[in-house]
Amino acid sequence: MDCTFCNIISGKIPGDMIYQDRDLVAFRDINPATRVHILIVPRKHIESVNDVSASDQTVLGKLIITAKKIAEHMGITDSGYKLVINTGKDAGQMVLHLHVHLLGGEDMKGGGLC
């Protein structure tokens, strides 16, 4: 299996890492859609939300709590931000390793459904 995010986590390919702990990592998106665009990724290879189970509950909670901490660190808590998890084909999920997009740093209103 050749997974881009597993390769970033293992150090096989570079990532612009901004946070790491035992359960997850966060790095800047290589093709940012907004001024702040960070991906928060569990170290465990879980393909998508369709593949989570009860045993992933702790790490899934940590993804949101870490997103909040990174938003604070980036100074976008007051202005606001979006957390997006694309799941499957119709959502346009490109990397089949679960991740949360943290998007902010600019006005994103009027962007349609998401």
Catalytic residues: 99
Q: Is 34 in the site for ligand AMP (CB under 6 A)?
A: no
Residues 6+ apart with CB under 8 A from 41: 5, 8, 9, 24, 25, 26, 27, 97, 98, 99, 100
Q: Is 47 in the site for ligand AMP (CB under 6 A)?
A: no
Q: Is 99 in the site for Zn ion (CB under 5 A)?
A: no
Q: How many CB atoms lie within 10 A of CB 37?
A: 16
Q: Which of 43, 44, 45, 69 binds Zn ion (CB under 5 A)?
A: 45
Q: Is 97 in the site for Zn ion (CB under 5 A)?
A: yes
Q: Is 48 in the site for ligand AMP (CB under 6 A)?
A: no
Q: Which of 3, 33, 49, 52 binds Zn ion (CB under 5 A)?
A: 3
- Alpha carbons 41 and 54: distance in angstroms, whole number: 18
- State the Cα torsion 35-47-44-64 to the nearest 10°: 40
Residues at the interface with Zn ion (CB under 5 A) = 3, 5-6, 45, 97
- Give me the residues that bind ligand AMP (CB under 6 A), please: 4, 15, 27, 29-31, 39, 86, 92-95
